[in-house]
Structures are given as C-alpha cells and as structure tokens.
A and B are shown apart, each in its own frame.
Chain A
Amino acid sequence: MTALPFFSPVAADGAAGLLAALGIGVAFGWSLERAGLGSARKLAAQFYLTDLAVFRVMFTAIVTAALGVFWLSWLGVLDLAQVYVPPTFLLPQAVGGIVFGAGMVAGGLCPGTGCVAAATGRKDGAAVVAGMLAGVFVFSEVFPLVRRFYERTPRGALTFPALLNLPYGVVLFALVALALGGFAGADRVERRARRLAAGGG
C-alpha cells in the first residue's frame, strides 16, 4: 500500500488536504523568502538578465518535485494515479497566461512571491495580494459570461510523457539536463548582462 499522497482527491477528506496544503505552502513561502524573491526588484532583475535567482529557484523546485514524484512512485511510496493533473484548455489558458504576465510586469510579483512580500510587510506585496483577491472575486462573478470560452479547446490531463509518447524516465532526464545546463548558463548570462550594464554606463 502506498503512503502518499497524504489525501486522495477522490475521497472526502478535505481537512487533511487543506492541512497538507497549508504546510507545503508555508514551506514554499519560507523558501521563496530565503531566496530573496519577496522583493519586486529581484523579480525585475530576472527580466533584465542581471539576476536569474527566480529561474534558479523555480527550476530547482520543478526538478526537485519531478525527481521526488518519479522516485517515490518508483519505490511504491507514492501512488501516481492519485496525483491530480489539472486539465489543459489551450486557448483560455494562453489568454490567462498573458493576463498573468501582464499582472506580473505591472506588480513586479507573482502570486506566491506577492504573498511572501505581503507577509514580510512590504506594501507592494499587500497591493498585489489585494489585486489578486479582487481578480478572483471579479472572475467568479463574471464566470457564467466567460464559461463558454473557459471550456474551449479542452485537451484533458496532459503530461509530457503522454504528449510526446516517451518513457517517463526519458522526459525526466531531459528535464534534469535542461535544468543543469540552464543553471550553468545562468552564471554566464548574469556576468555578461552586468558587464553590458556597466559598459553602457
């Protein structure tokens, strides 16, 4: 019998799920703060290529989670069938990504880092969280009007192994290689960007 996940998405034990989510959320927030991502300047530096900490932190989280899911499942500790994969809706999610990106550029923070910034007393973080909650409220209110668009181009619960018809291990190896290559390249990119910035005055 597998020990994970802590709660089943098909079973009615919501309290356990919420508790697990709270614990993971706090740990994630703590990690983001430790990496300095509670500052909008840090996130802005990502786009000027002078500080790629966001890339490093997020890709590290992705690779750690992917390796953990694969190996825990391989060892029989985690039941992959019980892990929820959000369904893909191509067009509405592309539009949602643009809206998300616009909000991130305007606020300098994403939802997770916005919460971290707010929790550490930054006013811009509190403003981002307030805007996020307002957006959730407005979206909920107008959902009946946008529902048809929201449900367009459904592609089901897509995963890379299924989409590319490749073994899980090959996709994981490619992801790890991409991350390690990216980490190695990030240092060079930062040095070059700083040199250019310094040279440009």
Chain B
Amino acid sequence: MMPIPRISRKHALAGCAGVLGVLALVAGEPNRGTGATVDVDRLAAIVQAEQDHVTALELAQWIRDWKPGLRVIDVRGADDFAAYHLPTAENFSVTQLTRARFRADETVVLYSEGGTHAAQGWFFLRAKGLERVFFLREGLYEWATQIVEPRLPDDASPQAKARWPEQAALSRYFGGSPRVGGTAQTVDDPTAALPRASHDDAGGELPRPASGEASASTAAVARIRARGC
C-alpha cells in the first residue's frame, strides 16, 4: 500500500487559496451593495418633461381612489413621521430607501418636508431601475397649502376656480378646511403667494404643539408653515 504523502501547512494553505481563486472564476460578481448605472440623458429628459413629480392634488386623488400598487414613502425622520404623515404613507430614511425592494408594477411616490430629499430619493430609485417613481413636487408644504388648508382667493384665475370643487372635495375628504375669499398675491397658484424656503435644510428643533391644543395634522401644518413662512 502506497504511503499517503504528508502535506505541509504552507502547501495546504496554498491549495486553499488556489481552490478559492479557481472558484472565483465561476462565482459571479460579489455583492457590491446597491451600485447602479444611470442613463443621465434619459433622466434629464424625464425631468425636463416634468414627468418626475406629482402635484399634491394628483397624489390626493391617487390615495383617495386607492390607486393599485401605490406606495407613498415619507423620507423624513421617524419623529417627524410620527408627528404627522400622509394617509397610507410608510417611513423610509434615504439610506433605507436605497436598499428597499419595490416591485416593478408599484407606483412609488416620495415626499419630504420641502421636496429636496424626496427628489434625491427619486434619483436613487430611478438609478436602481425603478420606472414608476415620482416625488411630491413641493413636499408637505404643497400638501398643506393645497389639501389641508386650500384657499380660493377672490381674484383666483378661471383655471383655479374650475378645479376648486374637486380640490375642496379632496380637502374635505382628508379632513382639511377649504376656504373661499380673501386676497392672494397671485391669481393662478395659491402656493406661489407663499415664501419659498429651503425646508429640508432648516436646522434646529422647532417647538412642538402642546397636547390637546390642536389636532396632529393642524399642528404639523403649523410647523411646516412656521418653517416656510
């Protein structure tokens, strides 16, 4: 019987390295996290055509009508989400968003306080290949002024007056307080009368409403207004 040759430790380790090296040839690509390739020309065309976002009215209609496959994603912090969020919304931080899995047939709408983080999240999801993804144009700020407390000024444009019944109905559906009258500095878009501020970049803690003082949504709208105005 042939004696079994004794294998030294260094040869055994070299053999292990060799086997792992050969297996690497057929193992495929390693997990590279959530790397993605972006067709920037296509994304630029989508942005140019304004097909990257939805308005608060469109989103409100989708939520009310239970649009199939709709997922509303709030990319603000957990505390802000707990204080107030849109109906049916889920809370994902931006870093969680890049690792989340969405089905191709789902329509994903992202929103943040003002819109910046949601727009950045939109880019990440598009880069990952998700097609049906949008962000709420001006974030919660637009939801507040268009759905929670919409106002039809006396000098509103005919287009604004024409869409008012639907807007007021949507507002009431979501527990809002549509108002008619007053003055506006614009005749077309009520939100244009409000100062545009960088809501996402607002720093510091804002005072929280006392319990029982106001409903959660009214308090949240007040906080948003406080930042925006």
- CB pair B33 A176 closer than 8 Å: no
Q: A47 at interface (Cβ–Cβ under 8 A)?
A: no
Closest residue on chain A to residue B26 by CB atoms = A169
* Shortest distance between the CB of A172 and any CB in chain B (Å): 4
Q: A2 at interface (Cβ–Cβ under 8 A)?
A: yes
* Shortest distance between the CB of A195 and any CB in chain B (Å): 23
- CB pair A82 B27 closer than 8 Å: no
- CB pair B34 A81 closer than 8 Å: yes
Q: B21 at interface (Cβ–Cβ under 8 A)?
A: yes
- CB pair B27 A179 closer than 8 Å: no
- CB pair B33 A180 closer than 8 Å: no
- CB pair A180 B29 closer than 8 Å: no
Q: How far is it, in angstroms, between the C-alpha of A167 and the C-alpha of B29 when the chains are bound?
A: 7
- CB pair A79 B31 closer than 8 Å: yes
Q: How many A-B residue pairs have CB under 8 A?
A: 66
Q: A101 at interface (Cβ–Cβ under 8 A)?
A: no
Task: Say which residue of B22, B25, B32 sits within 8 Å of A73 (CB atoms).
Answer: B32
- CB pair A80 B33 closer than 8 Å: yes
Task: Say which residue of B18, B22, B32 sits within 8 Å of A81 (CB atoms).
Answer: B32
Whether A176 touches B17, Cβ cut-off 8 Å, given contacts A169-B25, A170-B25, is: yes
Q: B35 at interface (Cβ–Cβ under 8 A)?
A: yes
Q: B193 at interface (Cβ–Cβ under 8 A)?
A: no
Residues of B within 8 A of A176 (CB): 17-18, 20-21, 24
Whether A81 touches B33, Cβ cut-off 8 Å, given contacts A169-B26, A169-B28, A173-B22, is: yes
What count of chain B residues pass the 8 Å CB interface test?
A: 18
Q: How far is it, in angstroms, between the C-alpha of A177 and the C-alpha of B31 when the chains are bound?
A: 23
Q: How far is it, in angstroms, between the C-alpha of A159 and the C-alpha of B28 when the chains are bound?
A: 17
- CB pair A79 B20 closer than 8 Å: no
Closest residue on chain A to residue B20 by CB atoms = A67
Q: How far is it, in angstroms, between the C-alpha of A183 and the C-alpha of B22 when the chains are bound?
A: 17
Q: How far is it, in angstroms, between the C-alpha of A62 and the C-alpha of B218 when the chains are bound?
A: 60
Whether A80 touches B30, Cβ cut-off 8 Å, given contacts A180-B14, A183-B14, is: yes
1/0 per residue, CB under 8 A from B, across A160-180: the answer is: 000000011110110111011
Q: How far is it, in angstroms, between the C-alpha of A173 and the C-alpha of B20 when the chains are bound?
A: 8
Closest residue on chain B to residue A169 by CB atoms = B24
* Shortest distance between the CB of B157 and any CB in chain A (Å): 47
Q: A55 at interface (Cβ–Cβ under 8 A)?
A: no
Whether A73 touches B30, Cβ cut-off 8 Å, given contacts A173-B22, A175-B21, is: yes
Residues of A within 8 A of B29 (CB): 167-169
Could you write out 23 A-B pairs with CB less than 8 Å apart?
Answer: A67-B17, A70-B30, A71-B20, A73-B30, A73-B31, A73-B32, A74-B30, A78-B31, A79-B31, A80-B32, A80-B33, A81-B35, A168-B24, A169-B26, A169-B28, A169-B29, A172-B21, A173-B22, A173-B25, A175-B21, A176-B18, A180-B17, A183-B14
**Given A71-B20, A80-B33, A173-B24, 7 other A-B contacts at CB below 8 A?**
A67-B20, A69-B30, A70-B27, A173-B21, A173-B25, A175-B21, A176-B18
On A, residues with C-beta under 8 Å from B are 2, 63-64, 67, 69-71, 73-74, 76, 78-82, 167-170, 172-173, 175-177, 179-180, 183
